[in-house]
Amino acid sequence: MALHRFFAEGPVPDSGALPLDDRAVHHLRDVLRLGTGDEIIVVYAGTAARVRLTDVGVSVRGERMEDLPPVRLPRVTLVQGLAKGEKMDDIVRQATEIGVSRIVSFAAERSVVKLDARKAAERVERWRRIAAEAAQQSQRADIPEVLPLAAARDLPSLLAESAVLVCWEDAAGSPGIGEGLAALAPTDGQDVAVVIGPEGGLTEHEARMLSAEGAVTVSLGETILRTETAGVVSTALAMYLRGGLGARHD
């Protein structure tokens, strides 16, 4: 059985108090009911360590047993048009599980949901909590960065260093993601960003704006996917083609 995993707020000491926040301490002590002698994985800044608990009380103390080998995931960013209801929660959760490194939400021209600054900030904080929980559950060694809600016009500057794929169902004859990646030819360490529209899709203006900055428009096949499906499928394909999700490329 895999050991329970917790994200720390600071470096993991060789022995002594573990830098866990109150939520993590509550979950460890009161929900999982772990105690002295149990072992956990503690993660900080992409480094994971196996720790044996020596005391569980108001704070948690432990002894660092070993560092675990690092897991290097391809850098893939999901750029998701703001969707309605709880769809964004599911998108963030599932994108985290498959290993995306960054999540950028943006208010698209066809986004049904309209958020003022306060509500947008609240949603982003919620998505960050969901990403942290999903990273812990899926045994990741890091938490994806969840950026503040952006406007569509901000995307070219936010993605300036990325190789950008735009999934747009209205572009007849567009290549698939594999062909799109080949055309972009990203370097080994370069971030690949995948742009997905909201329920109504991207407008021609949005797609052309990104294409003008060097993005490649791609297709996800013959059927039209829901936005919450497209976001996960597209990033999973990009992750796999870049060597993630168990890919073996000879």
**Is pLDDT at 152 greater than 60 in this prediction?**
yes
Beta pairing, strands 39-44 & 15-17: unpaired
Residue 248's pLDDT is: 64
**Is pLDDT at 133 greater than 70 in this prediction?**
yes
Q: pLDDT above 70 covers what percent of the chain?
A: 98
- The whole-chain average pLDDT of the chain stands at 92
Residue 1's pLDDT is: 67
- 208 class by beta-carbon count within 10 Å (0-12 exposed, 13-18 middle, 19+ buried): middle
Residue 26's pLDDT is: 94
**Is pLDDT at 220 greater than 60 in this prediction?**
yes
pLDDT in tens, 158-207: 999 999 999 988 876 788 999 999 999 999 889 999 999 999 999 999 99
pLDDT in tens, 23-71: 899 999 999 999 999 999 998 887 889 999 999 999 899 999 999 887 7
Mean pLDDT, range 134-151, rounded to an integer: 92
Mean pLDDT, range 10-28, rounded to an integer: 92
- Reported confidence tier of residue 118, pLDDT bands at 50, 70, 90: very high
- Reported confidence tier of residue 249, pLDDT bands at 50, 70, 90: low
Residue 88's pLDDT is: 95
Tokens encoding 136: 């812990």
- 103 class by beta-carbon count within 10 Å (0-12 exposed, 13-18 middle, 19+ buried): buried
Map out the domains of the chain with their CATH numbers.
Answer: 5-67 (2.40.240.20), 76-241 (3.40.1280.10)
- Of 141-155, 165-179, 224-238, where does mean pLDDT reach its minimum? 165-179
What pTM does this model have? 0.85
Residue 85's pLDDT is: 81
